[in-house]
Structure 1
Amino acid sequence: MSAAGFSATLDESELVALAARLAQQVGEGGVIHLIGDLGAGKTTFARALLGALGVGERIKSPTYSLIESYMAGDLSVHHLDLYRIVAPDELEWLGLADLVSGHFLLVTEWPERAGGALPEPDLFVRLAHAGARRALEMEARSARGERWLARLGSAT
Protein backbone atom coordinates (compact mmCIF):
# COMPACT_ATOMS: atom_id res chain seq x y z
CA MET A 1 0.00 0.00 0.00
CA SER A 2 1.47 3.35 -1.00
CA ALA A 3 0.78 6.65 0.73
CA ALA A 4 -1.12 7.90 -2.33
CA GLY A 5 -3.43 4.96 -2.96
CA PHE A 6 -4.58 1.46 -2.23
CA SER A 7 -6.54 -1.12 -4.18
CA ALA A 8 -7.88 -4.57 -3.38
CA THR A 9 -10.66 -7.00 -4.20
CA LEU A 10 -12.52 -7.85 -1.01
CA ASP A 11 -15.46 -9.88 0.23
CA GLU A 12 -17.95 -8.16 2.54
CA SER A 13 -16.21 -9.15 5.78
CA GLU A 14 -12.86 -7.90 4.44
CA LEU A 15 -14.51 -4.64 3.32
CA VAL A 16 -15.97 -4.16 6.81
CA ALA A 17 -12.58 -4.93 8.41
CA LEU A 18 -10.81 -2.42 6.17
CA ALA A 19 -13.35 0.30 7.02
CA ALA A 20 -12.81 -0.46 10.72
CA ARG A 21 -9.04 -0.13 10.27
CA LEU A 22 -9.53 3.19 8.46
CA ALA A 23 -11.66 4.41 11.37
CA GLN A 24 -8.57 4.13 13.58
CA GLN A 25 -6.83 6.68 11.33
CA VAL A 26 -9.50 9.36 10.81
CA GLY A 27 -9.98 10.65 14.35
CA GLU A 28 -8.63 14.07 13.35
CA GLY A 29 -11.67 14.44 11.08
CA GLY A 30 -11.90 15.26 7.40
CA VAL A 31 -13.82 14.43 4.26
CA ILE A 32 -14.35 11.04 2.60
CA HIS A 33 -16.17 10.57 -0.71
CA LEU A 34 -17.62 7.13 -1.48
CA ILE A 35 -18.08 6.48 -5.18
CA GLY A 36 -19.65 3.48 -6.90
CA ASP A 37 -22.74 2.04 -8.52
CA LEU A 38 -25.85 0.94 -6.63
CA GLY A 39 -25.09 -2.01 -4.40
CA ALA A 40 -21.31 -1.63 -4.70
CA GLY A 41 -20.85 -1.45 -0.92
CA LYS A 42 -20.77 2.27 -0.14
CA THR A 43 -23.30 2.09 2.69
CA THR A 44 -21.73 -1.09 4.07
CA PHE A 45 -18.35 0.67 4.14
CA ALA A 46 -19.82 3.81 5.75
CA ARG A 47 -21.68 1.85 8.43
CA ALA A 48 -18.56 -0.16 9.29
CA LEU A 49 -16.48 3.03 9.48
CA LEU A 50 -18.99 4.81 11.71
CA GLY A 51 -19.49 1.76 13.91
CA ALA A 52 -15.74 1.42 14.41
CA LEU A 53 -15.54 5.11 15.32
CA GLY A 54 -17.81 4.33 18.25
CA VAL A 55 -21.14 5.58 16.98
CA GLY A 56 -23.17 3.54 19.44
CA GLU A 57 -26.63 4.08 18.10
CA ARG A 58 -28.26 2.38 15.13
CA ILE A 59 -26.49 3.61 12.01
CA LYS A 60 -29.27 4.40 9.54
CA SER A 61 -28.82 4.79 5.82
CA PRO A 62 -29.42 8.43 4.86
CA THR A 63 -30.98 7.43 1.51
CA TYR A 64 -34.25 9.24 2.26
CA SER A 65 -33.16 11.74 4.92
CA LEU A 66 -30.03 12.72 2.89
CA ILE A 67 -28.04 13.15 6.11
CA GLU A 68 -27.59 11.35 9.40
CA SER A 69 -25.39 12.94 12.07
CA TYR A 70 -23.72 11.32 15.05
CA MET A 71 -21.17 12.03 17.74
CA ALA A 72 -18.13 9.80 18.17
CA GLY A 73 -16.44 11.26 21.24
CA ASP A 74 -15.80 14.89 20.31
CA LEU A 75 -15.96 14.16 16.56
CA SER A 76 -19.13 15.25 14.74
CA VAL A 77 -19.76 12.60 12.09
CA HIS A 78 -22.06 13.34 9.16
CA HIS A 79 -23.09 10.62 6.71
CA LEU A 80 -24.65 11.97 3.51
CA ASP A 81 -26.30 9.99 0.72
CA LEU A 82 -26.95 12.23 -2.28
CA TYR A 83 -28.41 9.58 -4.60
CA ARG A 84 -31.80 11.35 -4.70
CA ILE A 85 -30.31 14.78 -5.42
CA VAL A 86 -31.15 16.00 -8.92
CA ALA A 87 -29.34 19.36 -8.84
CA PRO A 88 -26.63 20.72 -6.50
CA ASP A 89 -28.81 23.68 -5.45
CA GLU A 90 -31.03 21.18 -3.60
CA LEU A 91 -28.26 20.93 -1.00
CA GLU A 92 -28.67 24.52 0.21
CA TRP A 93 -31.17 23.56 2.91
CA LEU A 94 -28.81 20.93 4.40
CA GLY A 95 -26.66 23.60 6.05
CA LEU A 96 -23.38 22.14 4.82
CA ALA A 97 -21.40 25.10 6.15
CA ASP A 98 -22.53 24.23 9.67
CA LEU A 99 -21.63 20.56 9.21
CA VAL A 100 -18.06 21.26 8.17
CA SER A 101 -17.03 23.49 11.05
CA GLY A 102 -15.22 22.40 14.17
CA HIS A 103 -14.05 18.81 14.58
CA PHE A 104 -15.97 16.85 11.94
CA LEU A 105 -15.88 13.86 9.61
CA LEU A 106 -18.02 14.09 6.48
CA VAL A 107 -18.67 10.77 4.71
CA THR A 108 -20.62 11.21 1.46
CA GLU A 109 -22.14 8.65 -0.87
CA TRP A 110 -22.81 9.88 -4.43
CA PRO A 111 -20.72 13.08 -3.98
CA GLU A 112 -20.69 13.66 -7.74
CA ARG A 113 -24.33 14.80 -7.48
CA ALA A 114 -23.32 17.77 -5.32
CA GLY A 115 -21.44 19.65 -8.01
CA GLY A 116 -19.00 21.89 -6.15
CA ALA A 117 -21.16 22.19 -3.02
CA LEU A 118 -19.07 19.78 -0.92
CA PRO A 119 -15.64 20.43 0.52
CA GLU A 120 -12.74 18.82 -1.32
CA PRO A 121 -12.20 15.25 -0.14
CA ASP A 122 -9.20 14.01 1.77
CA LEU A 123 -9.92 10.52 0.50
CA PHE A 124 -11.80 9.01 -2.44
CA VAL A 125 -13.04 5.47 -1.89
CA ARG A 126 -14.21 3.85 -5.13
CA LEU A 127 -16.18 0.60 -4.97
CA ALA A 128 -17.28 -1.62 -7.85
CA HIS A 129 -18.86 -5.02 -8.27
CA ALA A 130 -16.34 -7.81 -8.88
CA GLY A 131 -18.53 -10.90 -8.93
CA ALA A 132 -19.39 -11.78 -5.33
CA ARG A 133 -16.59 -9.48 -4.17
CA ARG A 134 -15.96 -5.72 -4.34
CA ALA A 135 -13.13 -3.96 -6.09
CA LEU A 136 -11.98 -1.13 -3.85
CA GLU A 137 -9.63 1.74 -4.60
CA MET A 138 -8.65 4.42 -2.11
CA GLU A 139 -7.00 7.56 -3.39
CA ALA A 140 -5.60 10.29 -1.16
CA ARG A 141 -6.55 13.80 -2.30
CA SER A 142 -4.81 15.79 0.44
CA ALA A 143 -1.90 15.57 2.85
CA ARG A 144 -4.41 14.39 5.47
CA GLY A 145 -5.60 11.60 3.18
CA GLU A 146 -1.99 10.61 2.52
CA ARG A 147 -1.39 10.37 6.29
CA TRP A 148 -4.50 8.20 6.67
CA LEU A 149 -3.36 5.80 3.98
CA ALA A 150 0.22 5.72 5.25
CA ARG A 151 -0.98 4.90 8.78
CA LEU A 152 -3.46 2.38 7.38
CA GLY A 153 -0.60 0.69 5.55
CA SER A 154 1.57 0.57 8.64
CA ALA A 155 -1.32 -0.91 10.66
CA THR A 156 -1.42 -4.04 8.47
Structure 2
Amino acid sequence: MNLTTELSEKIRQAAQNYGIRKLAEIMNLQRGTLYNKLNTDDSCTHHKLTLQEFIDIIHITSDYDLLNNLCALFNYSAYKLPNKTEIADEALLDIINSIHISSGRTHKEMADALADGQITTNEYLKFSDQVMNLLSGIVSWQERVKVMVDG
Protein backbone atom coordinates (compact mmCIF):
# COMPACT_ATOMS: atom_id res chain seq x y z
CA MET A 1 0.00 0.00 0.00
CA ASN A 2 1.50 3.37 -0.97
CA LEU A 3 1.37 6.49 1.18
CA THR A 4 -1.41 8.22 -0.77
CA THR A 5 -3.53 5.08 -0.55
CA GLU A 6 -2.94 5.02 3.21
CA LEU A 7 -4.02 8.65 3.47
CA SER A 8 -7.11 7.95 1.35
CA GLU A 9 -7.98 5.06 3.65
CA LYS A 10 -7.62 7.30 6.71
CA ILE A 11 -9.88 9.92 5.13
CA ARG A 12 -12.45 7.21 4.42
CA GLN A 13 -12.20 5.99 8.03
CA ALA A 14 -12.66 9.52 9.40
CA ALA A 15 -15.73 9.99 7.23
CA GLN A 16 -17.20 6.65 8.32
CA ASN A 17 -16.51 7.41 11.98
CA TYR A 18 -18.31 10.74 11.63
CA GLY A 19 -21.12 9.30 9.52
CA ILE A 20 -21.06 9.51 5.75
CA ARG A 21 -24.74 10.41 5.48
CA LYS A 22 -24.35 13.33 7.90
CA LEU A 23 -21.04 14.40 6.33
CA ALA A 24 -22.47 14.35 2.80
CA GLU A 25 -25.40 16.48 3.91
CA ILE A 26 -23.15 19.08 5.53
CA MET A 27 -20.87 19.10 2.47
CA ASN A 28 -23.90 19.44 0.17
CA LEU A 29 -22.99 16.25 -1.72
CA GLN A 30 -25.09 13.26 -2.68
CA ARG A 31 -24.32 10.40 -0.30
CA GLY A 32 -23.45 8.09 -3.23
CA THR A 33 -21.07 10.67 -4.67
CA LEU A 34 -19.25 10.97 -1.35
CA TYR A 35 -19.07 7.17 -1.06
CA ASN A 36 -17.52 7.05 -4.54
CA LYS A 37 -15.04 9.80 -3.73
CA LEU A 38 -14.01 7.95 -0.58
CA ASN A 39 -13.62 4.62 -2.38
CA THR A 40 -9.98 3.55 -2.07
CA ASP A 41 -9.93 0.84 -4.75
CA ASP A 42 -9.52 1.24 -8.48
CA SER A 43 -13.20 0.73 -9.33
CA CYS A 44 -14.00 4.43 -9.01
CA THR A 45 -10.99 6.24 -10.43
CA HIS A 46 -13.00 9.11 -11.91
CA HIS A 47 -14.42 10.15 -8.51
CA LYS A 48 -11.75 11.91 -6.44
CA LEU A 49 -11.91 14.24 -3.49
CA THR A 50 -11.03 17.83 -4.24
CA LEU A 51 -8.68 19.75 -1.98
CA GLN A 52 -11.63 21.76 -0.71
CA GLU A 53 -13.52 18.56 0.14
CA PHE A 54 -10.49 17.21 1.99
CA ILE A 55 -10.27 20.45 3.97
CA ASP A 56 -14.01 20.30 4.66
CA ILE A 57 -13.73 16.74 5.96
CA ILE A 58 -10.96 17.76 8.36
CA HIS A 59 -12.92 20.81 9.48
CA ILE A 60 -16.26 19.03 9.90
CA THR A 61 -14.94 15.86 11.55
CA SER A 62 -12.26 17.68 13.58
CA ASP A 63 -9.97 14.77 12.71
CA TYR A 64 -6.70 16.67 12.57
CA ASP A 65 -4.75 13.43 12.36
CA LEU A 66 -5.63 13.63 8.65
CA LEU A 67 -3.61 16.82 8.42
CA ASN A 68 -0.72 15.14 10.22
CA ASN A 69 -0.92 12.22 7.81
CA LEU A 70 -0.82 14.58 4.84
CA CYS A 71 2.20 16.37 6.28
CA ALA A 72 3.92 13.02 6.88
CA LEU A 73 3.78 12.34 3.13
CA PHE A 74 6.24 15.21 2.73
CA ASN A 75 8.26 14.60 5.90
CA TYR A 76 6.68 17.62 7.61
CA SER A 77 4.59 17.96 10.74
CA ALA A 78 1.64 20.04 11.88
CA TYR A 79 0.49 21.03 15.33
CA LYS A 80 -2.18 23.29 16.76
CA LEU A 81 -1.12 26.75 17.76
CA PRO A 82 -2.74 28.66 20.57
CA ASN A 83 -4.01 32.11 19.63
CA LYS A 84 -1.36 34.39 21.09
CA THR A 85 -1.72 37.28 18.62
CA GLU A 86 -4.19 39.19 20.77
CA ILE A 87 -1.92 39.26 23.81
CA ALA A 88 -0.64 42.68 24.87
CA ASP A 89 2.93 43.51 23.91
CA GLU A 90 3.95 43.45 27.57
CA ALA A 91 2.87 39.82 27.79
CA LEU A 92 5.54 38.79 25.27
CA LEU A 93 7.87 37.98 28.17
CA ASP A 94 5.21 35.65 29.57
CA ILE A 95 5.24 33.75 26.27
CA ILE A 96 9.02 33.49 26.40
CA ASN A 97 8.91 32.31 30.03
CA SER A 98 6.31 29.67 29.17
CA ILE A 99 8.62 28.40 26.41
CA HIS A 100 11.44 27.99 28.93
CA ILE A 101 9.11 26.17 31.33
CA SER A 102 7.93 23.92 28.51
CA SER A 103 11.53 23.24 27.54
CA GLY A 104 12.30 22.16 31.08
CA ARG A 105 9.28 19.85 31.13
CA THR A 106 10.37 18.36 27.80
CA HIS A 107 13.84 17.67 29.17
CA LYS A 108 12.34 16.13 32.34
CA GLU A 109 10.13 13.78 30.33
CA MET A 110 13.15 12.68 28.29
CA ALA A 111 15.26 12.17 31.42
CA ASP A 112 12.47 10.15 33.05
CA ALA A 113 12.07 8.04 29.90
CA LEU A 114 15.79 7.33 29.70
CA ALA A 115 16.21 6.58 33.42
CA ASP A 116 15.90 2.81 32.98
CA GLY A 117 17.49 2.67 29.52
CA GLN A 118 14.21 1.90 27.74
CA ILE A 119 11.48 4.15 26.42
CA THR A 120 7.96 2.82 26.74
CA THR A 121 5.09 3.89 24.52
CA ASN A 122 3.57 5.85 27.40
CA GLU A 123 6.88 7.61 28.09
CA TYR A 124 7.21 8.50 24.41
CA LEU A 125 3.66 9.89 24.32
CA LYS A 126 4.34 12.10 27.35
CA PHE A 127 7.60 13.31 25.79
CA SER A 128 5.92 13.88 22.42
CA ASP A 129 3.16 15.98 24.04
CA GLN A 130 5.80 18.14 25.70
CA VAL A 131 7.71 18.55 22.42
CA MET A 132 4.52 19.69 20.69
CA ASN A 133 3.81 22.17 23.50
CA LEU A 134 7.34 23.50 23.18
CA LEU A 135 7.12 23.85 19.39
CA SER A 136 3.71 25.47 19.67
CA GLY A 137 5.11 28.01 22.11
CA ILE A 138 8.06 28.84 19.88
CA VAL A 139 5.92 29.32 16.80
CA SER A 140 3.40 31.34 18.83
CA TRP A 141 6.26 33.57 19.94
CA GLN A 142 7.33 33.99 16.33
CA GLU A 143 3.77 34.82 15.24
CA ARG A 144 3.31 37.29 18.10
CA VAL A 145 6.49 39.14 17.11
CA LYS A 146 5.39 39.10 13.46
CA VAL A 147 2.19 40.95 14.45
CA MET A 148 4.33 43.60 16.14
CA VAL A 149 6.37 44.36 12.98
CA ASP A 150 5.79 47.86 11.60
CA GLY A 151 4.50 48.11 8.03
Comparing both chains, which one has the higher relative contact order based on Cα–Cα distances under 8 Å and sequence gaps of 6 or more? 1
More strand by share: 1
TM-score, structure 2 length as denominator? 0.21
More helix by share: 2
Greater Rg over alpha carbons, structure: 2
